[in-house]
Structure 1
Amino acid sequence: MTGGEEPAGRQDADAAPGPLRVVVADDQPVVLHGFAAILGAAPDVEVVATVADGVALLDAVARTAPDVAVVDVRMPRLDGIGATQRITAEHPGTRVLVLTTFDLDEYVYDALRAGASGFLLKDVTAGRLVEGVRLVADGAMLLGPSITRRLVSDFAARAGAPDRASRATGLDTLTPREHEVLLTVARGLSNAEIAAELFIGEQTVKSHVSEVLRKLGARDRVQLVITAYECGLVG
């Protein structure tokens, strides 16, 4: 990259795919450097920055335009929830994968509501960590069953009746293919897995997902999962 150019992040579909660009944020040095070493050893992953607090994370994301930010929940200056909210709002090309000690941590739940694409426990295996980054970069979600149930319950309780009715009505506007895509998203499949299952290209999957989000008035794939659960499409 020459001086003054902005980092490009993921390359377009017509270019040869480059490595996944990842930023790792954790205030525990052993965890930070351990996860960075694991990810950096993967042939298709490049760790472009490691940081120890949320403010430094925002700066790193702005500078490096990573595909995925692997974010600890509890960090100084700005915690993982606040950082996730800022990243998803200001850098939509970067997906957030949250790290936590407990799978029912309320902070993780809040981070998912803030726009994170999923979570992993800190005792995750090396293989699962790399796989998780790949899945999140590809548009999948990493939501455990307990977190999914809590998300559905909370949104059902907090969302207004008009909002729920609007999304339910939106289901009637989906084409048969879009309905199939919604069901696969609700099962947590990545774009690549959806493409393989439905025998269509990944770019076509992305187009369908975008259209489903628009028709249902959903912000992200998490809300698509919630809609599918609320409407009884999955259970």
Structure 2
Amino acid sequence: MIRVLIVDDHPVVRDGLRAAFAAVGDIEVVGEAGDGAEGVRLARELAVEVVLMDLRMPGMDGVRAIQRLRELAPEIRVLVLTTFDTDADVLPAIEAGATGYLLKDAPTEELLRAVRASHRGETVLAPTVAGLLVGRVRKPVKSTLSPREMQVLRLVAGGATNREAAARLFISEASIKTHLLHVYAKLDVRDRASAVAEAYRRGLLD
């Protein structure tokens, strides 16, 4: 049995998904969560193998939850199931470590195949998402950083401390640290110096 956790803030969606799996012999829904933080906790507590993850939820969203699961339980496969297929949704989710990306209007049989494929470690993408990623390979994205993250990165590249950057942007030092953590994750680096170097390499800074 493939142990599945459903993470979605809409109870109707969770009920529909649970019903779709009810008559399937090799897939068992072992839990449900209404937000990312609860999803991360239950995924570990219930020895889940595949998580069906929505992206836009209150509190911890899907991308942050995927990142957290990758840190705490990298063996768990995360299959994004959402209504959004824009660059701003797809790319961060894939970069965070999702093994698949489906839209909620996918037929039940397609969803079942995707869960089984994710369990095997295979990548499963909705056709529109696959097309988007192919287009991005042909024409690479310069940056997935938000405008605020770019502001913080430019100040850091100019030698500003967290306190100085916070004063310049009229936000707290804690917010600066949070933005930097997002920058590190998106650029796949671990510190300020590496972030600046990688940003120059990608052409984000000049």
Same fold by TM (over 0.5)? yes
Describe the shift of the 1:156–1:131 C-alpha distance in structure 2 as closer, same or farther (beyond 3 A). Answer: same
Query: CA deviation digits over 1:107-149, x for unaligned, max 9?
Result: 2221111000111111111111111100111111113432322
Q: Which residue of 2 aligns with 1:161?
A: none
Q: Which residue of 2 aligns with 1:146?
A: 131
Describe the shift of the 1:157–1:66 C-alpha distance in structure 2 as closer, same or farther (beyond 3 A). Answer: same
User: Secondary structure of the residue that 2:51 maps to in structure 1?
Assistant: strand
Q: Does the 8 Å CA contact 1:104/1:146 hold for their aligned counterparts?
A: no
Q: TM-score, normalised by structure 1?
A: 0.55
**Aligned partners of 2:131, 2:91: CA distance in 1, in Å?**
10
Q: Aligned-pair RMSD on alpha carbons?
A: 1.9
- Deviation of residue 92 (structure 1)? 1.1
Q: Which residue of 2 aligns with 1:23?
A: 5
Aligned counterpart in structure 1 of residue 107 of structure 2, from 97, 117, 125? 125
Q: Does the 8 Å CA contact 2:87/2:132 hold for their aligned counterparts?
A: no
Describe the shift of the 1:150–1:53 C-alpha distance in structure 2 as closer, same or farther (beyond 3 A). Answer: farther
- Deviation of residue 41 (structure 1)? 2.3
Describe the shift of the 1:105–1:152 C-alpha distance in structure 2 as closer, same or farther (beyond 3 A). Answer: closer
Mark the runs of 5 or more structure 1 residues left unpaired by the alignment. Answer: 1-18, 159-235
**Aligned partners of 1:25, 1:107: CA distance in 2, in Å?**
16
Runs of 4+ in 1 over 4 A off after TM superposition: 153-158
Aligned counterpart in structure 1 of residue 85 of structure 2, from 75, 98, 103? 103
**Aligned partners of 1:147, 1:85: CA distance in 2, in Å?**
22
Mark the runs of 5 or more structure 2 residues left unpaired by the alignment. Answer: 144-206
Taking the TM superposition and a 5 Å limit, the aligned residue runs for 1:1-235 are 19-143=1-125, 144-152=129-137, 157=142
Q: Does the 8 Å CA contact 1:71/1:99 hold for their aligned counterparts?
A: yes
User: Secondary structure of the residue that 1:27 maps to in structure 2?
Assistant: coil
User: Secondary structure of the residue that 1:30 maps to in structure 2?
Assistant: helix
Q: Which residue of 1 aligns with 2:201?
A: none
Seq. identity, %:
39
- Deviation of residue 105 (structure 1)? 5.0
Q: TM-score, normalised by structure 2?
A: 0.63
Describe the shift of the 1:102–1:131 C-alpha distance in structure 2 as closer, same or farther (beyond 3 A). Answer: same
Q: Does the 8 Å CA contact 1:100/1:108 hold for their aligned counterparts?
A: no
**Aligned partners of 1:136, 1:142: CA distance in 2, in Å?**
7
Kindly provide the amino acid, as one letter, of the partner of residue 18 in structure 2: A
Equivalences, count: 140
